[in-house]
Amino acid sequence: MGYVFFVLMLGLTVLLIPFSHAAALGAADGLSLFYRFVLPSLFPFFVCSHYLTSSEAFRRISLSRWFIPLFAAPITALCGTPSSALIFGRLYSTGTLSIKRASVLCAALNQTGPSFIISALCIGMLGNVRSAYAFIISHYAPAFIAAILLSLGSVKNSRFVRTPEPSESPLTSFSAAVSGAVVNILRVGGTIVFFKSIYSVLSSAFPFSEGIPGAVLTGLFEMTNGISLLVGYPGKLALSLSAFLMTFGGACIFIQSKMIFNELSALYYFAAKLILGAVSFSLFYLICPSLDDSRAVFGELGEALASVPSGAGARLAVFICTAVSVLFTIMTAMLFSKLAVKKQTTRQSDRL
């Protein structure tokens, strides 16, 4: 595998020479994306996450079966990728989760934030805020259900428990949190700039972005570029593939997560992402026949959102989708918890 990556990097190095102008334009685009959107939205969360996940209270709370569906899932859904790598990387490092469960949960909850879905995709690319509901449902529902199923039963596994880190003063912990957040946000930014630059070089050297297959291939490499190409093709197939790519995330997001969660397993991560992406594709294909029929699909609420200014509609849609997601998570968690307790009681009765 090391030789394969060596050959790939060597080929990219050679391509950078004749396509240096395209590489510079791509890097500038990636840098603009980083400091305009990624840095302001992720850096405060990184600081808070570093501080919280290093605390003794976090370690104790994380042992609860309710921690993942009621805390980790909503937080990572609101903050977007690669926030789940911070949480589950810490849970693995403290011995709370095995590498398999931590990798699968990181994949399941490495989600796109609602601001991207509503503002960038539905309003910016599609010009139709009513389509947000289909994307929200198809994107968050599989992840939340997977998180609930994986969190059932005891989270703590004695084989992986390690000695807890010594407690520090709040100011010392905050200083360490800021330092860690700076390192991680720069890693994310460097990855974005690099992938944007390489994508610009490859798109200039090879016409691989033509047609829907090329757009999907682009999205497997970098999600945002692939989705922006897919939405240019009318029909629910292209939109359903966009839902798949948004859940899958692409290689760029995996590498960002890998830099934060070094032990993240590529095998478990991509296996979970492929399954969840297929579920998202199927859900979107079923609940959103076409954008032309969006009035029938989304009803009067969609008409009301479409009739107000886009800024107000986006804010209202964010509020509604967030509330619905949290309520859906709580209700589903309660349902699965009752089923699990009932099943456990039945087994105990059978043993007696």
Query: What is the chain's percent helix, strand, coil content, to nearest 5?
Result: 80, 0, 20
Residue spans per domain, the chain: 18-160+171-347
Confidence grade of residue 153 (pLDDT, cut at 50, 70, 90) = low
Question: What mean pLDDT value characterizes the chain?
Answer: 76
Per-residue b/e over 255-274, b at no fewer than 16 CB within 10 Å?
bbbbbbbeebbeebbbebbe
% pLDDT > 90, the chain: 13
Confidence category of residue 72, pLDDT binned at 50, 70, 90: confident
pTM value surpassing 0.75: no
At residue 2, the pLDDT reads 66
Q: Would you place residue 347 in the very low, low, confident or very high pLDDT band (cuts 50, 70, 90)?
A: low
Average pLDDT of the segment spanning 143-151: 84
Lowest pLDDT segment from 251-260, 279-288, 305-314? 305-314
Greater pLDDT, 294 or 242: 242
Q: What pLDDT is attached to residue 77?
A: 81
Asked if pLDDT for residue 145 goes beyond 70, the answer is yes
Per residue in 158-191, pLDDT tens? 444 444 555 567 788 888 888 888 888 888 888 8
pLDDT of residue 338: 52
278 pLDDT tier (thresholds 50, 70, 90): very high
Query: Which tokens belong to 21?
Result: 């102008």
- DSSP annotation string for 25-74: HHHHHHHHHIIIIIHHHHHHHHHHHHHHHTSHHHHHHTTSTTHIIIIIHH
Query: How far apart are alpha carbons 327 and 339 in whole angstroms?
Result: 18
Centre a 10 Å sphere on the Cβ of residue 63 and count the other Cβ atoms it contains: 12
- The mean-pLDDT minimum among 91-95, 141-145, 324-328 falls in 324-328
Q: What span, in angstroms and rounded, lies between the C-alpha atoms of 347 and 127?
A: 53
Q: What is the DSSP track for 168-204?
A: --HHHHHHHHHHHHHHHHHHHHHHHHHHHHHHHHHHH
**Residue 271 binned pLDDT confidence (cut-offs 50, 70, 90):** very high
Q: Is the pLDDT reported for residue 333 higher than 60? A: no
